[in-house]
């Protein structure tokens, strides 16, 4: 069981503080405001029962590792209380606590005693540990000759054979070779099935969803959400997506100039996006109908103008750029105010922000009368059934059994 009651933790960020005696003497005569308290964790409260797996998610610097350090007993909260029951194995970094000069075998006993595994237990399980770590041939070699992967394997093997009640895992799955990663994941799952409690810090949301039944979302030391994993993870992803898009847009605004360019015989007055009911909208669902109504003003009589649009993803990918040369008909002549409508029956775009370019061109020279490069934007909403990776939704189908070799099950 893990129980956090209103946990606060403060670091004193030294702007500049001397660690020498002489420097400290000088500092005495300076104003004291140079140390800035900084709350790494603010009012964190959650509780996890035995057998639960808790995913801790959030951007870098949000306090995840600090929380693990508190639960591992390394730091004490400045306010509030953190309680844990049972033997905790911290996995803040695999392979720490190894002594390079000692052999793998000697390190098993050193590391084991750090984790307070009884010496006799270690002796009894020695062979199993070595076998699990796949280090039979090198166990009598000093550990400084091991690769990082080998050290990790040994660290993981020792901990898994020490009967922990609670495992604190900080991004273990990110390292090591594929086959050992699989072994790690497998034994973590087995540990969970046996009723072990897990606290798992990760940036891999798929891993979190798969392994953890509850999740905690931290953001700059503040608890954003705690609860069922799927909800918390989706909330976090949505938020991260929004922020990413906002950052991209800010970037686009800086780099792309969206002024008009052209000879000016026709001027684009307004572009309005319309949803399937013809109402103005700026966000759409994947596979919904989207229209763009392009209002223009022709100062003189212009014959057979060509209208064109382009769609870009905010990150710059050019998705399409249709124009009216593909139409069977043309407008013979325009003068004064007018409008055309560009319609996509089924918008095959995945969630994200898209930029819209509009241009009106001379039919002969193809020179623009008016051209608004990426001047308009619309969004495709997050949360549709299609997932959120990539740009384009396609029509597809699976045939699971084209050769009729296996049996299908509903």
Partner 1 sequence: MIKKFLEILEYRELLQTLATKELIARYHASALGYLWVLLNPFLMMLLFTLVFSVFLRIQVENYALFFICAMLPWNFFANSLNQGSSSLVGNTHFILKFYCPRELFPLKVVLAHAFVLLNGFVALVPVILYFKGSLSWAILLVPVVVFFHVLFAAGLTLMLSTLHVFFRDVTHLLEFFTVVWYFLTPVFYPLSMVPETLQPLFRLNPMYVIISLYRDILYLGVVPGLESFLAAAAIGLGTLIVGWKTFLAFEHAVVKEL
In the range 36-55, which residues lie near partner 1 by CB under 8 A? none
Chosen residue from 15, 16, 21, 395 binding partner 1 by CB under 8 A: 21
- The residue behind tokens 């976090």 is 236
- Minimal distance in Å, beta carbon 152 to partner 1? 13
In the range 71-100, which residues lie near partner 1 by CB under 8 A? 72-76, 88, 90, 92-93, 96-97, 99
Site string for partner 1, 118-147 (x = CB under 8 A): xx----------------------------
The stretches of 55-137 forming alpha helices (DSSP H) are 64-71, 104-114, 119-133
Q: Does 109 bind partner 1 (CB under 8 A)?
A: yes
CB closer to partner 1 out of 119 and 145: 119
- Minimal distance in Å, beta carbon 190 to partner 1? 24
381: tokens are: 């909403």
CB closer to partner 1 out of 10 and 189: 10
CB closer to partner 1 out of 175 and 391: 175
353: tokens are: 């922000």
Residues that contact partner 1, how many (by CB under 8 A): 30
Please give the Cα distance from 170 to 202 (Å, whole number): 7
Please give the Cα distance from 188 to 167 (Å, whole number): 9
How many residues does this entry show for the chain?
A: 410
Please give the Cα distance from 227 to 309 (Å, whole number): 45
> 111: Cβ–Cβ under 8 A, 6 or more apart, which residues?
97, 98, 154, 155, 158
- Minimal distance in Å, beta carbon 144 to partner 1? 12
Q: Does 11 bind partner 1 (CB under 8 A)?
A: yes
The stretches of 143-228 forming alpha helices (DSSP H) are 148-160, 178-193, 205-211
Q: Which burial class, exposed, middle or buried, applies to 78 when counting CB atoms under 10 A from its CB (0-12, 13-18, 19+)?
A: middle
The answer to whether residues 319 and 313 touch, using CB atoms and an 8 Å cutoff, is yes
- Minimal distance in Å, beta carbon 82 to partner 1? 12
Q: Does 8 bind partner 1 (CB under 8 A)?
A: no
183: tokens are: 């072994």
Chosen residue from 1, 115, 272, 344 binding partner 1 by CB under 8 A: 115
Chosen residue from 26, 50, 116, 304 binding partner 1 by CB under 8 A: 116
Please give the Cα distance from 54 to 410 (Å, whole number): 32
- Minimal distance in Å, beta carbon 137 to partner 1? 23
- Minimal distance in Å, beta carbon 53 to partner 1? 21
Chosen residue from 1, 110, 240, 340 binding partner 1 by CB under 8 A: 110
Q: Phi-psi category of 352—alpha, beta or left, where left has phi over 0 and alpha has psi -120 to 50?
A: left
Shortest CA distance to 320 belongs to which of 356, 359, 293?
356
CB closer to partner 1 out of 99 and 228: 99
Chosen residue from 57, 67, 69, 355 binding partner 1 by CB under 8 A: 69
Residues in contact with partner 1 by the rule CB under 8 A: 11-12, 19-22, 24, 69, 72-76, 88, 90, 92-93, 96-97, 99, 101-102, 109-110, 113-116, 118-119
């Amino acid at each position: 069981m893990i129980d956090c009651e209103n946990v606060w933790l403060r670091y004193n960020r030294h702007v500049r503080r001397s660690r020498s005696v002489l420097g400290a003497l000088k500092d005495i005569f300076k104003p004291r405001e140079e140390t800035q308290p900084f709350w790494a964790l603010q009012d964190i409260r959650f509780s996890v029962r035995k057998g639960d797996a808790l995913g801790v998610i959030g951007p870098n610097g949000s306090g995840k590792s600090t929380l693990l350090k508190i639960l591992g007993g390394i730091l004490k909260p400045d306010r509030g209380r953190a309680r844990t029951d049972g033997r905790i194995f911290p996995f803040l970094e695999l392979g720490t606590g190894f002594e390079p000069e000692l052999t793998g075998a000697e390190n098993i006993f050193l590391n084991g005693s750090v984790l307070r595994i009884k010496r006799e237990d270690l002796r009894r399980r020695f062979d199993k540990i070595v076998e699990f770590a796949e280090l039979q041939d090198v166990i009598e070699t000093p550990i400084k000759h091991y690769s990082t992967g080998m050290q990790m394997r040994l660290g993981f093997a020792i901990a898994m054979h020490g009967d922990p009640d609670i495992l604190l895992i900080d991004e273990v799955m990110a390292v090591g070779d594929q086959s050992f990663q699989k072994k790690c994941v497998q034994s973590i799952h087995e540990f969970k099935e046996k009723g072990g409690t897990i606290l798992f810090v990760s940036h891999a949301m798929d891993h979190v969803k798969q392994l953890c039944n509850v999740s905690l979302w931290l953001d700059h030391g503040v608890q954003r959400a705690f609860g069922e994993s799927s909800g918390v993870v989706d909330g976090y992803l949505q938020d991260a997506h929004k922020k990413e898009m906002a950052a991209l847009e800010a970037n686009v605004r800086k780099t792309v100039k969206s002024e008009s360019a052209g000879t000016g015989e026709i001027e684009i007055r307004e572009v309005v996006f319309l949803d399937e009911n013809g109402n103005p909208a700026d966000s759409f669902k994947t596979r919904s109908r989207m229209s763009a109504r392009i209002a223009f003003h022709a100062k003189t009589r212009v014959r057979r103008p060509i209208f064109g649009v382009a769609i870009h993803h905010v990150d710059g990918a050019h998705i399409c750029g249709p124009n009216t040369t593909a139409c069977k008909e043309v407008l013979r002549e325009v003068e004064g105010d007018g409008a055309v409508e560009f319609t996509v029956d089924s918008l095959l775009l995945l969630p994200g922000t898209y930029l819209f370019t509009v241009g009106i061109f001379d039919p002969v020279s193809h020179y623009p009368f008016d051209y608004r490069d990426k001047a308009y934007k619309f969004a495709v909403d997050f949360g549709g059934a299609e997932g959120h990776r990539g740009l384009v939704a396609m029509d597809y189908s699976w045939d699971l059994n084209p050769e009729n070799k296996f049996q299908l099950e509903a």
